């Protein structure tokens, strides 16, 4: 039920009863258009699947590493705001693979 309330709060599903203010077990539900868009995005995009499987911090580190290898910001004054926006991400690194425990 908690998962349904979370989807409802994020406006991804709706109760078919327009008078319902809160979800209950008896409510019939429908997926809203933006809920369908989210579902399609996460089931068809390999990038979003990776984010789901790895967790947000690891995903951000991995994407930042890839981005840093492909992107260099010019040092000209015109680009100073872009460089400033990137600074918080400069320290992030891709996570190290977890070590497997040896079987005894």
Digit-coded pLDDT (tens) for 25-81: 888 888 888 888 878 877 787 777 776 777 667 777 777 777 777 778 888 888 888
As a whole number of angstroms, the distance between CA 104 and CA 92 comes to 35
pLDDT of residue 70: 76
Q: What angle do CA 62, 63, 65 make, to 5 degrees?
A: 65
pLDDT confidence band for 21 (50 / 70 / 90): confident
Predicted TM-score of the model (pTM): 0.44
Please, where are the H alpha helices in 2-103? 2-9, 33-44, 46-54, 56-70, 80-86
Pairing of strands 29-31, 13-15: antiparallel
């Amino acid at each position: 039920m908690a998962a349904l309330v979370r989807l409802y709060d994020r406006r991804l599903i709706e109760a078919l009863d327009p008078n319902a203010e809160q979800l209950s077990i008896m409510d019939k539900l429908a997926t809203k258009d933006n809920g369908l868009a989210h579902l399609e995005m996460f089931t068809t995009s390999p990038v979003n699947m990776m984010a789901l499987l790895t967790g947000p911090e690891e995903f951000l580190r991995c994407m930042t590493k890839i981005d840093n290898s492909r992107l260099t910001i010019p040092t000209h004054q015109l680009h100073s705001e872009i460089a400033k926006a990137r600074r918080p991400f400069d320290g992030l690194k891709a996570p190290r693979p977890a070590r497997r425990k040896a079987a005894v």
